[in-house]
Structure 1
């Protein structure tokens, strides 16, 4: 009796367990069906090459009105002919239930004939007690459109950069070239080197020497681009130079920034314009603005500027003595022999002054026949007096100008500067002028004496 009741109890427990198991399986199946029905990816099942199931996503992907338009048809009706052989080869290698192919791109044909790029994964599975292939299909249309747009943008960017007159170089964090445009190769003098040979090379291995703004060698590690790579800082308007293998020196105005400012490990792009001619032109303009066009000496503006700087110096005076030099009787040379000969005399006098003085001394022409000398460093009065005698002697040597032998003497006034000198540059100039006037022979003070000139045969 007990055994029978016990047996009944076991049967009921087994029956209850069977019912629970079936319910769990049905719930799992329902969840799976719900997942398949609502997934955004297309899913179809084909058995012996015939489609036996299509979810709503694949119906929409193939532009069908309902699953009935797809189910029952050969799978190959919806596959581009070029994609069929590799597809069949992939599923041929799936031999056991659960085996899956690698994600693979292929082309499908919609009901309206439009070609659709997709990525598929095939899985050998059990379908109603039979082996069948379940295919998960991901639409790549949007991705392909985005990739095509990116390729067009990159091509557009590459075309624009290649046509720029500015040089553009992209360098990775290790200092290796990632890209270089034709203008950069032209500026660097590396047009004959193929891009493939330049890409991956470090800047320091290029056949050129980098220079700083003062024309001193510039190690790549000190170039502003290196600072950008380390700090992420954007730098603009810096000047650097390159000495090319052909002997040319080019001056460049550059800027550098990270390609991706949000990525500290980003590569950097440097763009630079060739300003060699502009720099030379500017230097020429600066020279013309500060030098006498006839003699090449410093002009009045530069002389007074240098004198003002010396007087303002709180350290040891960089200028110790000022010499004011005037040519005796020069007006008569212009009046009797002409301005062309007078200009030649001034040019020769300027050359003699430059040769007689040190390179640190500044010689300038104030105008007419007046010259000013700023003697650099400390000078003893005895040395200054000896210099004045030597200058007078040098000036007294006859000058041969266009067949005329001309003797020119010079009057030289001297004024010394002292530490903390309260005078203005104009006051110093005035004092030196007075000293020169006192040193001038009385016969020349009105500038009317005729020049001592003979015709040289």
Structure 2
């Protein structure tokens, strides 16, 4: 018993947590850690101090409600001894079985009229000890025996000596009562009462410290007391405050971003969304947390404007594989009818967690995409007529020549307006521009949607006919185009008649010519098709200053 008590005393004295024992709210024991926590010079400064001295008002109320600072414990072993009396157990008719006395026991029942109870000094360390399926025996003289039977779950023992430790006495529904009417020893009536609360201690210098206090009823020198273990929560509170600051900082920053941020769990539900994302989705006043993207009335589109299922969205791929995907473009058709284009990235919120949600961030690039498309359009289209320009037509022709198996382009038509220079010289360039715009519209109406028509400069147009075309079909098409352009044009009060010369150059499978060579051959064919009065050039059909020579 002595060795066990000494080991426990060593643990208590060197524990990083504070520990006190109080009787009726007065401290009778404190370990060094408690003295350090309260800022006292030593444990001696704490002995005899009221516990309430070290509690703020709110904490005192909390402890009163929980019983941590009660004047009398809810469960305790009370020993009432008077001179000239003997304490005997009432458990059996013949209390003659003595309980084993420990060598260092400090609480001994009086057995003769001349004996009196002895109490231990204040410098002992507390201990709550329970052993299952055992009996709690109080130390007694050979003439007396006091025995308390414990429950199968717990069997506390009270044993206090000047050099040992008090043990918690909390046996359920059992009692020890003196056989004589003058003395009584009553066992606890509530099993294993343990009370826990978070309170604020007042230190010796007036500062405060948050702690968690755990109290258990015990016996101290044969009297009822409370043993309280105190854990300093300062570091925990500091970490919690730091975490709250970090979360607040994150929330503030994310809520101020112009970039949308959405966290989506593995079931496709929205866990969090910032205001920018809600605005982009067209639902700034809704709270979509807990809902799926599909339930928001949004239709997803891929970069080409085709319907995109949520299962094929990059966020779904991130959730499935853990892969981080950056700078993908997708569209949404909102419930208000607007189509917005977004550039997004997705990654796992917690990469080390196999059940992690995904965070998707995206910018609204609708205006940028429209501007870029406008720039691309301007770079590849004629600003006056809106037709493909020279560079785009030649690029399409080069692509067609590079395919040997199938011929996406079968025939090239070179169209030149006869006498257009005279219109510019006599009526002015403004009317000449109007004539070119009307001619472009008539060409588009006379061709199929899959055919390509472009303006390659001045009054010259190039047509790429797709698919196979028979000579008869080709002749009918040329006649129809010439007839359409020959219809009178009314421009600013002037009635203008325009005729066109059309040169035809077929493409053969595996054609080895360059786009410029095909363009030159079509130009020569067009020149030969001109009426004699509109020709310029030598007898071989070459025009002066031709820009299409191969």
In the other structure, the counterpart of 1:34 is 10
Distance 1:237 1:303 in 2: 31
Match of 1:434 among 514, 524, 545: 524
The reply on whether 1:443 has 2:536 as its aligned counterpart is: no
Match of 2:200 among 107, 115, 140: 107
In the other structure, the counterpart of 1:3 is none
For the residue of structure 1 that corresponds to 2:194, the secondary structure is coil
Give CA deviations for 1:384-433 in whole Å, capped at 9, x if unaligned.
11101111111111111111111111000001111110000001001101
Match of 2:263 among 158, 164, 170: 170
In the other structure, the counterpart of 2:215 is 122
TM-score by structure 2 length?
0.75
Match of 1:95 among 48, 58, 75: 75
Distance 1:160 1:102 in 2: 42
Residue correspondence of structure 1 range 131-280 to structure 2 within 5 A:
131-193=224-286, 195=287, 198-280=288-370
Match of 1:312 among 402, 407, 420: 402
Asked whether the 8 Å contact 2:75–2:193 carries over to 1, the reply is no
RMSD of equivalent CA atoms? 1.4
Q: For residues 313 and 102 of structure 1, do their structure 2 counterparts lie closer, same or farther at Cα, with a shift above 3 Å needed? A: farther
Return the offset for 1:258.
Answer: 1.3
Return the offset for 1:381.
Answer: 1.6
In the other structure, the counterpart of 1:411 is 501
Asked whether the 8 Å contact 1:94–1:101 carries over to 2, the reply is no
In the other structure, the counterpart of 2:422 is 332
Give CA deviations for 1:61-88 in whole Å, capped at 9, x if unaligned.
1111100111111111111110112212
Residue correspondence of structure 1 range 290-301 to structure 2 within 5 A:
290-301=380-391
Distance 1:428 1:152 in 2: 71
Return the offset for 1:359.
Answer: 0.2
Give CA deviations for 1:324-365 in whole Å, capped at 9, x if unaligned.
000011111101111111111100000000000000000000
The reply on whether 1:54 has 2:147 as its aligned counterpart is: no
Asked whether the 8 Å contact 1:324–1:370 carries over to 2, the reply is yes
Asked whether the 8 Å contact 2:200–2:208 carries over to 1, the reply is yes
Distance 1:394 1:203 in 2: 52
Asked whether the 8 Å contact 1:215–1:241 carries over to 2, the reply is yes
Distance 1:176 1:133 in 2: 52
Segments of structure 1 that go 5 or more residues without pairing to the other structure are 1-24, 448-457
Give CA deviations for 1:15-34 in whole Å, capped at 9, x if unaligned.
xxxxxxxxxx0000001001
Question: Where is the helix percentage greater, Structure 1 or Structure 2?
Answer: 1
Match of 1:67 among 34, 37, 43: 43
Return the offset for 1:217.
Answer: 2.0
Distance 2:216 2:500 in 1: 109
Give CA deviations for 1:421-454 in whole Å, capped at 9, x if unaligned.
000000100110111011011100139xxxxxxx
Distance 1:315 1:109 in 2: 92
TM-score by structure 1 length?
0.90
Give CA deviations for 1:118-161 in whole Å, capped at 9, x if unaligned.
11111112222222111111101011011111111111111111
Return the offset for 1:102.
Answer: 4.7
- Between 363-372 and 204-213, report the one with greater CA deviation: 204-213
Return the offset for 1:379.
Answer: 1.1
Return the offset for 1:95.
Answer: 2.6
Distance 2:61 2:301 in 1: 62
Segments of structure 2 that go 5 or more residues without pairing to the other structure are 77-168, 171-191, 538-550
Distance 1:380 1:37 in 2: 108
Distance 1:114 1:314 in 2: 90
Distance 1:228 1:431 in 2: 54
Aligned residues: 420
Larger gyration radius, structure 1 or structure 2: 2
For the residue of structure 2 that corresponds to 1:175, the secondary structure is coil
Return the offset for 1:204.
Answer: 1.4
Return the offset for 1:89.
Answer: 2.3
Distance 1:207 1:376 in 2: 41
For the residue of structure 2 that corresponds to 1:247, the secondary structure is coil
Distance 1:281 1:167 in 2: 21
- Between 170-179 and 340-349, report the one with greater CA deviation: 170-179
Distance 2:32 2:307 in 1: 70
